[in-house]
Amino acid sequence: MQVNEKEFKPTIVAFCCNWCSYAGADLAGTNRLNYPADVKIIRVPCSCRVNPMFILRAFQRGADGVIMCGCHPGDCHYTTGNYYARRRMTLLFSMLDYLGIERERTRVEWVSAAEGAKFAATMNEFVETVTKLGENKRLEDLRCKEK
Amino acid sequence: MQRIGVFVCWCGSNIAATVDVEAVSEALKSEPGVVFSTNYQYMCSEAGQNMIKDAIKEHNLTGVVICSCSPRMHEATFRKTVQGAGLNPYMVEIANIREQCSWIHKDKQTGTEKAIILGKAAIAKVHLNAPLTAGESPVVKRALVIGGGIAGIQTALDIAEAGFDVDIVETKPTIGGKMTQIDKTFPTLDCAACILTPKMVDCAQNEKIHIYSYSEVTAVKGFVGNFTVSIKKKARYVDTTKCTGCGVCTEKCPVKNVPNEFNLGMNNRRAIYIPFAQAVPKVATIDADYCNMLKNGKCGVCSKVCTAGAIDYKQQDEIIEERYGAIVAATGFNPIKLDNFDEFAYSQSKDVITSLEFERLTNAAGPTSGQLLRPSDGKHPHTIVFVQCVGSRDTSGCGKPYCSKICCMYTAKHAMLTREKYPDTDVYVFYIDVRTPGKNFDEFYRRAVEDYNVHYIKGMVGKVAPRADGTLDVQASDLISNEQLHISADLVVLAAAIEPDKSARPLATMLTASMDTNDFFTEAHAKLRPVESPTAGVFLSGTCQGPKDIPETVSQASAAAAKVIGLLCKDKLTCNPCVAHSDEMLCNGCSSCEKVCPYGAITYSDKEFRMPDRTTAIRRVAAVNEAVCQGCGACTVACPSGAMDLKGFSNKQIMAEVDAICK
For B616-628, the pLDDT digits (tens) are 989 999 999 887 8
Average pLDDT over residues B561-568: 97
| pLDDT for residue B537 is more than 90 | yes
pLDDT at A1: 46
pLDDT tens figures, B215-249: 999 999 888 999 999 999 999 999 999 999 999 99
Interface test with A, best of B510, B661, B663 (most A CBs within 10 A): B661
Q: Are strands B34-40 and B4-9 parallel, antiparallel or unpaired?
A: parallel
Q: State how far residue A18 is from chain B, nearest Cα, in angstroms.
A: 8
Same fold, B334-499 and B580-647: no
pLDDT at B627: 78
Task: Calculate the CA dihedral of residues B135, B140, B145, B151 and round it to 10 degrees.
Answer: 70
Domain ranges of chain B: 4-126, 142-233+325-332+501-568, 248-305, 334-499, 580-647
pLDDT at B223: 86
Q: State how far residue B335 is from chain A, nearest Cα, in angstroms.
A: 23
Task: Decide if B110 and A37 are in contact by the 8 Å CB cutoff.
Answer: yes
In this complex, the residue of A23, A30, A49 whose CB is nearest that of residue B632 is: A49
8 A C-beta contact, residue B445 and residue B386: no
Determine the Cα–Cα distance for residues B321 and B337; give it in Å rounded to an integer.
34
Cβ of A77 under 8 Å from any chain B Cβ?
yes
In this complex, the residue of B104, B111, B516 whose CB is nearest that of residue A28 is: B104
In this complex, the residue of B110, B516, B637 whose CB is nearest that of residue A49 is: B637
Cβ of A83 under 8 Å from any chain B Cβ?
no
3-state secondary structure of B287: coil
| pLDDT for residue B553 is more than 70 | yes
Determine the Cα–Cα distance for residues B578 and B655; give it in Å rounded to an integer.
17
Task: Decide if B117 and A40 are in contact by the 8 Å CB cutoff.
Answer: yes
Q: What HEC string does B526-592 produce?
A: CCCECCECCCCCEEECHHHCCCCCHHHHHHHHHHHHHHHHHHHCCCEEECCCCCEEECCCCCCCCCH
Q: Which residues of B touch A80 (CB under 8 A)?
A: 596, 598, 634
A 84-123 near B (Cβ less than 8 A): 84, 88, 112-115, 120
CATH class of B4-126: alpha beta
In this complex, the residue of A19, A34, A46 whose CB is nearest that of residue B514 is: A19
Question: Which of A71-75, B147-151, B348-352, B471-475 has the lowest average pLDDT?
Answer: A71-75
Q: State how far residue A79 is from chain B, nearest Cα, in angstroms.
A: 6
User: Looking at domain B142-233+325-332+501-568, which CATH architecture does it have?
Assistant: 3-Layer(bba) Sandwich (3.50)
Superfamily of domain B334-499: FAD/NAD(P)-binding domain (3.50.50.60)
3-state secondary structure of B433: coil
Provide CATH code, domain B580-647: 3.30.70.3270
In this complex, the residue of B71, B514, B655 whose CB is nearest that of residue A54 is: B655
The nearest alpha carbon in chain B to A54 belongs to B655
Interface test with A, best of B108, B655, B662, B663 (most A CBs within 10 A): B662
End-to-end CA distance of chain A: 21
Q: Which residues of A touch B535 (CB under 8 A)?
A: 77
Going along chain A from its start, the domains and CATH numbers come out as 12-140 (3.40.50)
ipTM for the assembly: 0.94
Q: How confident is the model at residue A4 (pLDDT cuts 50, 70, 90)?
A: low
